[in-house]
């Protein structure tokens, strides 16, 4: 067991902003996000993972969060969250376990196509500061809509970056399922906000969790606390960084609100000054 990994959790548009701000602030404090051997992003965390590498990609992403909001961000304001929750709950009613629940959500994702997949890809591409994979090793978690199983998707000739990020972000009933090769994928947040249990074999893992350690495990998924316990039992050291109390409450209350991005980004950047020493000591 060797190496260091960074896990970027899901947290809606506010989560993108907080993680981008935190990483920019950590870099300013001397903790290089490029120093990890592997970076894994789930859903909104995949957007942040795609922004790593290069001189300005991460700061460009941060600056975008502090701006007026992109078309994709503004479209999230149209989501009727209670109605979406009702439809998803109805779709998974009676499922015996998490895998079956995700298969049923996958059926909904393939059946309900709120907009063409190519249009969704274009919206996600507009969120990213670059259209090429980072030189740093990164992966994005997506869930297969037919099997209900997760997969970490990495750089490959037939996997454009924006397509893979879109697959990780494709909330069933909100965005279309994304075909990649002969499989179709949806948002990995249907399984776990962080999918930490998939990141094995590393000596140290830092987790940025916009929703926090105590967030409920939805859809019979894998909770962060359970994954942490298992990795630590296997000899891996795990450090979780979550928003401070006020920022965390604000993020969780405004996951899909693009107007919450700027304050979340600035809060993450400010918090980095408080946690940089802890992260640096942990990484050795």
Which residues form the catalytic set? Answer: 43, 187
Burial class (CB in 10 A: 0-12, 13-18, 19+), 135: exposed
Task: For residue 94, count other CB atoms closer than 10 A to its CB.
Answer: 7
Distance CA 152, CA 118 (A): 22
Tell me the Cα Rg of the chain.
17
Query: DSSP 3-state assignment of 141?
Result: strand
Q: Within 81-211, where are the H helices?
A: 81-92, 98-111, 117-127, 161-169
Query: DSSP 3-state assignment of 139?
Result: strand
**279 vs 2, 21, 32, 197, CA distance in Å?**
17, 15, 11, 21
Contact of 187 with 170, CB cutoff 8 Å: yes
């Amino acid at each position: 067991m060797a190496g260091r990994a960074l896990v970027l959790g899901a947290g809606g548009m506010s989560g993108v902003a907080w993680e981008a701000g935190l990483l920019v602030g950590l870099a300013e404090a001397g903790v290089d996000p490029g120093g990890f051997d592997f970076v894994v992003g789930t859903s909104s965390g995949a957007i942040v993972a795609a922004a790593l590498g290069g001189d300005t990609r991460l700061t460009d992403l941060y600056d975008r969060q502090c701006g007026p909001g992109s078309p994709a961000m503004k479209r999230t304001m149209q989501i009727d969250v209670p109605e979406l929750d009702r439809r998803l709950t109805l779709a998974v009613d009676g499922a015996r376990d998490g895998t079956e629940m995700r298969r049923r959500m996958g059926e909904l994702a393939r059946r309900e196509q709120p907009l063409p997949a190519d249009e969704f890809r274009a919206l996600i591409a507009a969120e990213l500061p670059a259209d090429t994979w980072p030189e740093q090793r990164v992966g994005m978690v997506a869930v297969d809509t037919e099997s209900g199983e997760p997969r970490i998707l990495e750089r490959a000739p037939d996997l454009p970056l924006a397509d893979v990020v879109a697959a990780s972000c494709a909330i069933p009933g909100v965005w279309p399922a994304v075909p990649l090769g002969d499989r179709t994928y949806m948002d990995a947040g249907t399984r776990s906000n962080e999918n930490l249990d998939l990141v094995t074999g590393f000596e140290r893992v830092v987790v940025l969790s916009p929703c926090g350690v105590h967030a409920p495990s939805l859809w019979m998924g894998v909770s962060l606390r359970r994954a942490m316990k298992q990795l630590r039992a296997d000899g891996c050291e795990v450090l979780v960084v979550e928003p401070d109390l006020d920022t965390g409450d604000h993020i969780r209350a405004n996951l899909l609100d693009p107007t919450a991005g700027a304050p979340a980004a600035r809060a993450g950047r400010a918090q980095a000054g408080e946690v940089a020493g802890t992260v640096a000591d942990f990484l050795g």
